Amino acid sequence: MRAGIVVTVTRGDRRRLEAIVADRGAPQKHVWRAHIVLATADGCGTAEIMRRSGKSKPVVWRWQARFMAEGVDGLLRDKTRKPGKPPLAPDTVQRVVDLALGPPPGETTHWTGRMLAQAAGISLRSVQRILEAHRIAPHRIRTFKLSNDPNFAAKLKDVVGLYVDPPDHAVVLSVDEKSQIQALDRTQPGLPMKPGRAGTMTHDYKRNGTTTLFAALNVLDGTVIGRNMQRHRHQEFIRFLDTVEAQVPARKAIHAIVDNYATHKHPKVRQWLARHPRWTFHFTPTSASWLNAVEGFFAKLTRRRLKRGVFRSVDDLKAAIDRFVAETNADPKPFVWTAKPTHVLAAVKRGKQTLESIH
């Protein structure tokens, strides 16, 4: 025991301390404090008390002194601590929010956390908490494009009507091309993924040529008709239409949803349509290719097959695309449109009003 420490435990104190130790519902911090005092009363040295309680020497001495000063009640009460740093003043919080929502200084395009912290005179972590609480993210940006097509509403309802209520005895096809798909080979082989390390691939690559994928997504059953071609002119588009014409049963009408690419409106394409009366083209509004369901298939193809792919030739690229189309057709999923046209029109209206109010 430390010199100058004399712990006197009365019978009443011992009964209370032993009751705390025996109480299975007592807080553990009260239990080990009671063990320290009981071991001290039994004549144990500091080293032995440390071994029994599992606490350090300063902790043992602190609670011995607390018992000498306040008795058993002192063991059951924690001393109040000094309060931590005071919260930021509301004016400071509002200043950070106003700065984040305003233009950044100089030639920078957006605020960073450290720039805000320096401007407001607070820590970076405080800025991060404020931005998180107010759901402000200066580092993020979302792209958009509002259609200026005067017939936007009519075209939207026409296309969505085909998705939601397709005509009887007809096939609804979403048609488009994914042009300039590059056959990229990496300059060095990458490393596979393993626990604690992501897979790797070189940032540079070797271009081995390009191909264009023409695709027609059957909205009703989810199957895809695809064909790779070297270019994407009206000649290739007409050859693709011949391919689709040969694969769709002759008794069915064909409603094709296409975008406003010039190839789709070429005079020779119009002549081809005149020779095939069962075909009807439905054009999406200008700057609204997202209405074309086949864009979702192209996105999945890019994400799952092309982005991390390694292709040593255009033939390798074409074979990989053909295999992906075959896998899609082996387990097709019908396209289901869920957004209401009224909600889309309302969102477009809000976007235009916002742009007009700003500019």
For 248-263, what is each residue's pLDDT tens digit? 998 899 999 999 889 8
E strands within 230-283? Answer: 253-258, 279-283
Are 211 and 317 in contact, with CB atoms under 8 Å apart? Answer: yes
Strands, sheet with 224-229, edge to edge from the N-terminal-most edge strand: 224-229, 205-218, 170-186, 253-258, 279-283
pLDDT above 80 for 343: yes
Closest among 339, 340, 292 to 172, alpha carbons compared: 292
pLDDT above 90 for 143: no
E strands within 195-242? Answer: 205-218, 224-229
CA distance 183 to 127: 45
Work out the percent of the chain whose per-residue pLDDT is above 90.
61
Return the number of other C-beta atoms located less than 10 Å from residue 318's C-beta. 18
* pTM, to two decimals: 0.70
Closest among 344, 262, 342, 328 to 296, alpha carbons compared: 328
Residues 6+ apart with CB under 8 A from 61: 2, 5, 46
pLDDT of residue 4: 59
- Half-sphere exposure at residue 342, Cβ-oriented, CA atoms within 13 angstroms: 0
**pLDDT tens digits for range 214-237:** 999 999 999 999 999 998 899 999
pLDDT of residue 5: 65
